[in-house]
Amino acid sequence: MRTQALVALLASSACLVAAVPATPVSKDKHTSLRLIKTSPSDPGRWVTDEQKITDFKAKGVGFVDITDITDPDVLSILSAPDSEDVALSARAVTYPTAVSHQTVANPLISQVSTMNPKVWLQTLTDYYNRYYKSTYGTQAATWLYSTVQSVAAANPAITVAQFTHSAYNQPSIIAKIPGNSTNIIIVSAHFDSTGGSSTARGPGADDNGSGVVVILEALRVLANAKFKGKDTLEFHFYSGEEGGLLGSAAVFASYKSAAKPVLAVMNQDMAGYSPSGKISIYTDYVDSSLTAYTRVIATAYTGTTTSDVCGYGCSDHASARSNGFPAAYACDEKMSTSTPYIHTPNDSYSTIMWDAVLRHSKFTVAFLVEASYL
């Protein structure tokens, strides 16, 4: 999900619940409401789950659900200006300025195709929606977990686990390829969707079925090759992104608590609609050094890239960043020329540009190979 904060819209929306302080606030009177932030300066406001979708998501307003976030450092980062490179202290690596593992990456990239992604995306979009609190969303998670297990089975060293969430039934999913070190490289995509309300048809083809099948295809290629790099590789499929980055927030809170040595998080949200034919590397609410490295890889393996900004709470890289991990965000297109069907029932399978999916899949394999030697 890509959104830009619309200040004027927030000011005019009659449906919003009055803002309240974001730290700490008694939930006794708000047991059925959620506390969200729409910008660093927003102190927070209580809204229903449905309002999160209809009054914010469907209107292009980015937000983070902070109801369950208790870490004061995370809350501080979520309230800090974007100009602060907050993950620097957590990043224990200097990123290269050029690629250096083409002899390993290129043979793997040659194995990338759209054959399996087309089948996977058809299944994902056949669910009525993948809303994180719906039965359909839970069913989609069950199918995805089974599919990730099936893809990973080509390499017995790969583990696949569900990461459960207390506030809703749709789990996140994590596959892991062990490396020679415990340092971690993460590629990620969310798999939930919305069509503009909790009950609307929400095929979520570009947002973000496309990102899911890209990550799956990269996993398939590396699993079949039994690839093992210096660093451990993780493939994250998050639930609840459309509800305010819920799944990724919980995952990265857990990783922070465990002091996991995450060297890079590269998030992809929308990878299947690209009139420009270029990967777009977004530059706000990210780690600037990792972003530069991500652009180096994308340019070397796929050609010219574009740039844009997507605003507060744009996608799951914000959760990695707020927990102190270096994060980057790669997308299919600039905001101005991105899919017009986002968060509607029209974000359908038929709108996908498969050359974009292929481009992102090749890029993801390249990123994993290059970064696995950090």
Q: pLDDT tens across 334-370, in order?
A: 999 999 999 999 999 999 999 999 999 999 999 999 9
DSSP state of 54: I
Question: Residue 363: its pLDDT value, please?
Answer: 99
Residues of the chain with pLDDT under 50: 4-29
Query: How many residues are listed for the chain in this entry?
Result: 374
pLDDT (0 to 100) of residue 32: 86
- Secondary structure (DSSP) of 312-369: TT-STHHHHHHTT--EEEEESS-GGGS-TTTTSTT--GGG--HHHHHHHHHHHHHHHH
- The catalytic residue positions are 190, 207, 241-242, 269, 343
Of 150, 154, 160, 143, give the one whose Cα is nearest residue 111: 154
Amino acid 18: pLDDT: 34
Q: Give per-residue pLDDT as tens, 68-97.
A: 999 999 999 999 988 666 655 555 689 999
d(CA 181, CA 140): 33
Cβ neighbour number for residue 32 with a 10 Å cutoff: 9
- Cβ neighbors of 115 (< 8 A, separation 6 or more) are none
pLDDT at site 19: 34
Name residues whose C-beta falls within 8 Å of residue 350's C-beta, 6 or more positions apart in sequence: none
Please give the pLDDT value at position 6: 36
pLDDT, residue 90, reads 53
The angle at the Cα of 18, spanning 63 to 321, to the nearest 5 degrees, equals: 20
What local confidence, expressed as pLDDT, does residue 7 receive? 34
Nearest Cα neighbor of 298 from 338, 290, 143 is 290
Query: Would you state the pLDDT for residue 82?
Result: 85
Q: Which pLDDT belongs to residue 1?
A: 60
- What is the pLDDT at residue 313? 97
Instruction: Please tell me the number of Cα atoms within 13 Å of 304 on its side-chain side.
Output: 3
Angle between helices 135-152 and 211-224 (to 10 degrees): 20
Domain boundaries, given as residue ranges, for the chain: 7-78, 102-371
CATH architecture of 102-371: 3-Layer(aba) Sandwich (3.40)
Query: For residues 274 and 337, what is the distance between their CA atoms, to the nearest angstrom?
Result: 8
CB distance 246 to 192 below 8 Å: no
Q: What is the pTM of this model?
A: 0.93
